[in-house]
Chain A
Amino acid sequence: EVQVVESGGGLVQPGGSLRLSCAASGFTFSTFSMNWVRQAPGKGLEWVSYISSSSNTIYYADSVKGRFTISRDNAKNSLYLQMNSLRAEDTAVYYCASDIPSTGASYWGQGTLVTVSS
């Protein structure tokens, strides 16, 4: 059974830091590129960052560039998002999501809520 479980969310003050983790199982994590996607309360989906299967290619949305860092550990089947200099507008549910291969197999977690507030 495929499982994708995010953790690390919580309440943080503006300017603070948080590290999100995503633990994957039930599929060959090391062969999938991965993404972080977020959704602010009552709003639409916003892509945050992408990392290729071997970590060779990394992309960020302009809104987080220079503040967030994506990484992965294929030996631990885990994806991470280091978030620094957090702002109120970073408040959202953060989803870990696999990229979409030619088979259409796509895996998403249930999300972890990050709230940035004083």
Chain B
Amino acid sequence: QSVLTQPPSASGTPGQRVTISCSGSSSNIGSKYVHWYQQLPGMAPKLLIYRNNQRPSGVPDRFSGSKSGTSASLAISGLRSEDEADYYCAAWDDSFYVFGTGTKVTVL
């Protein structure tokens, strides 16, 4: 079962915009919804983006998602110190759910 590929790390200063990429294939990202999760240190993951670009209630509009072909992206605008966390993309692939490799975002 495959995984989705993300850069291991990303960083920015407060107020900057940070973008995280997620690369998959035609059987997952290319044909299914992409979800993004945020995992703060020592905490359970939290859904950040669903159905490619939808934000659950309570998620700030600083977070946005997009998808094109077999790739997806998460953008964090107006970076804040509390955004320092691990971020994972995910998608269904036939009969299994696949997570990305994860990206650690550091606020400098």
Which of A's residues lie within 8 Å of B, judged by CB?
35, 37, 44-47, 50, 59-62, 95, 97, 100, 102, 104-106, 108-111
What is the total number of residues of chain B having a CB less than 8 Å from a CB of chain A?
26
User: Would you give the shortest CB distance from A92 to chain B, in whole angstroms?
Assistant: 13
* Residues of chain A lying within 8 A (CB to CB) of residue B46: 108
Q: How many A-B residue pairs have CB under 8 A?
A: 58
Q: Determine, out of B14-22, B69-77, B91-99, the stretch whose residues face the partner at the interface.
A: B91-99
Which of B's residues lie within 8 Å of A, judged by CB?
1, 35, 37, 39, 43-47, 50-51, 54-57, 86, 88, 90, 95-102
Docked CA distance A62–B2 (Å): 11
**Which of A37, A109, A111 has its CB near the most chain B CB atoms (within 10 A)?**
A37
Verify B96–A61 contact, CB threshold 8 A: yes
Verify B88–A45 contact, CB threshold 8 A: yes
